[in-house]
A and B are shown apart, each in its own frame.
Chain A
Amino acid sequence: MQVSRRIVLHFPASLTGQPIVYRLARDYGLEFNIIKASVSPEEEGLMVLEVRGDEQGVEAGMKYLSEKGVMIEPFSQRVVLREERCIHCGLCVGLCPVGAFRMEPDTYYIRFEEERCLACGLCIKACPPRAMEVGL
């Protein structure tokens, strides 16, 4: 059975020079899309992949990655607030389609309730000081 999974891979620095993702394709017959990657030599790397293949192949591929020392997490795209950029204006409050922002009734500081966020990304473009970004 064909399956598709979105995963986040954390590479230790010792592995960032090795062709690990390539082996997922060659040895396990998996297709993959790189959604986001931040890998540089001799530093820890981070990669978000969508992996497709038959169920057995995907399982075996994940096992191979774990054995190599890659930490695997399920991917759920999320939007995060960079508190140091936020000026608490509240433009996001009226804009967010799911009401994930609120103005505290007494202090008027803006709070982002991430659990309500559907990661549509509207606030990322609309935030004047650009305090919202896609988080991993």
Chain B
Amino acid sequence: MRTIAEINEKIRKGQAVVVTAEEVIEVVRSKGIERAAREIDVVTTGTFGPMCSSGVFLNLGHSKPRIKLGGGTAYLNGVPAYTGLAAVDVYLGATALPDDDPRNHDHPGDFAYGGGHVIEELVAGKEVHFVGTAYGTDCYPRRRIETTIRLQEINEAILFNPRNAYQNYNVAVNLSDRTIYTYMGVLKPRLGNANYCSAGQLSPLLNDPHYEAIGIGTRIFLGGGIGYIAWWGTQHNPSVPRKDGLPKRPAGTLAVIGDLKGMSPEWLRGVSMWGYGVSLAVGIGVPIPILSEEILRYTAVSDDEIFAPVVDYSRAYPEREPEVLGEVSYAELRSGRIRVMGKEVPTGALSSYAKAGEIAQVLKGWIQRGEFFLTEAVAPIPGEEAGISFKPLDEKGGH
């Protein structure tokens, strides 16, 4: 139908036809698949929600005299970063907490500040307090350093998130008699509320369910800047049950990478999950090149066709039981109420549909203005045919 090179040529000439994954639904309804596929070059997607498997590699630069943080410690605004790398490379993870944070000893636990918040402050250009300790060697004699850093003053700052953009997700409820505090938010007892976390019809991998249009090397919107799909994400699980190609359970994931210096605090936001921990809300937008009618047909998916499993987070989830209480569509979830076990339950979302739509619009604008070109995937993301199984960790006896 068309190649990515041809799409890029149209982008260069300012002629590419770009619509968002929300807009394409209406286009296909009015024009039909065939005509819509002829006319549309790119469909843009978006998602913006807490994504815990996120973090940033920082190269802090060499002090005089030098210090080797590897094997020592590094703290940024009191939050520990991983130092098991070369002298001044560290990795600051989104869920890291200060050593002296009370966590949930002070039940349920506030979790006011952590790695995600430091990343937000770095990308906002704010000064960040840095303390490093080391054991000192002949070539790196220094044992302690305390100073401040800013994003623009350090060498590299590479956002590298091993698992983002989940393809579908659980709807969390609580069947127990007490309030529980989870990564899916506060869940009131006896089905008091239900929380979900997907942009549904706007979500990147729900618009390319078999990973045919995107792959490793695909250029994306990441945190307000440019990023790339680096690999499939951890826990990537394409083998879940599907209906019309769409996974009915949490399925594929993406590992993404990009230059933090080009990103914005509007799209990388530190978040606190009450009674659970801290995280980072990440904005991601993936362009889907319309290379075939089939690819276009999948981008036209709407919220009433995507189903998510309802899971009890008071027992089934923590006990790793496979039990699902039912399936509900994203149209039902977004209506504000779903029915679970005969009861009407109010819904809340962790993933921002409004912001996902903004991301799809921003990416569309970049492409229309010739500021963003598509890339060919250099290797595919494994699909159902790869036979990937989702492995549990079962403890072996005798230890």
Which residues in A have some Cβ–Cβ distance to B below 8 Å?
87-95, 102-103, 107-110, 122, 125-126, 128-130
Contact = CB atoms under 8 A, between A and B. Distances in A.
Contacts of B195: 91, 94
A85 to B, nearest CB: 8
B272 A109 contact: no
A129 B269 contact: yes
B271 interface: yes
| Interface bin, chain B | 20 to 34
B349 interface: yes
A129 B345 CA distance: 24
Q: Which 5 A-B pairs rank lowest in CB-CB distance, beginning with the nearest?
A: A94-B348, A128-B271, A94-B193, A90-B349, A108-B353
Contact of B274 (A87, A93, A103, A126): A126
Given A89-B349, A110-B354, A95 B272 contact: no
A110 to B, nearest CB: 7
Nearest to B197: A89
A92 B193 CA distance: 10
Given A89-B352, A90-B352, A91-B349, A108 B48 contact: no
Interface string B178-199: 0000000110100001110000
Contacts of B357: 107-108
A122 B110 CA distance: 12
Interface of B: 48-50, 110, 112, 185-186, 188, 193-195, 269-274, 279, 281, 334, 336, 345-355, 357
Contacts of A125: 110, 186, 274
Which of A90, A95, A109 is most buried by chain B, counting CB atoms within 10 A of its CB?
A90
A102 B355 CA distance: 16
B104 to A, nearest CB: 13
A129 B336 contact: no
Contact of A95 (B186, B279, B352, B353): B186
Contacts of B271: 128-129
Nearest to A124: B274
B185 A87 contact: no
A91 B350 contact: yes
B337 to A, nearest CB: 9
Contact of B350 (A89, A103, A122, A130): A89
A102 B110 CA distance: 25
B5 to A, nearest CB: 36
Given A93-B346, A94-B193, A94-B336, 16 more contacts: A87-B48, A88-B355, A89-B49, A90-B353, A91-B185, A93-B348, A94-B194, A94-B195, A94-B345, A95-B185, A95-B348, A103-B336, A108-B334, A128-B185, A128-B281, A130-B112
A62 B196 CA distance: 51
B106 to A, nearest CB: 12
A94 B334 contact: no
Contacts of B274: 125-126
14 contacts: A88-B354, A89-B355, A90-B348, A93-B347, A95-B193, A103-B353, A108-B334, A109-B354, A122-B186, A125-B110, A126-B185, A126-B186, A128-B273, A128-B281
A87 B110 contact: no
A52 to B, nearest CB: 32
A128 B351 CA distance: 11
Nearest to A86: B352
Contacts of A90: 348-349, 352-353
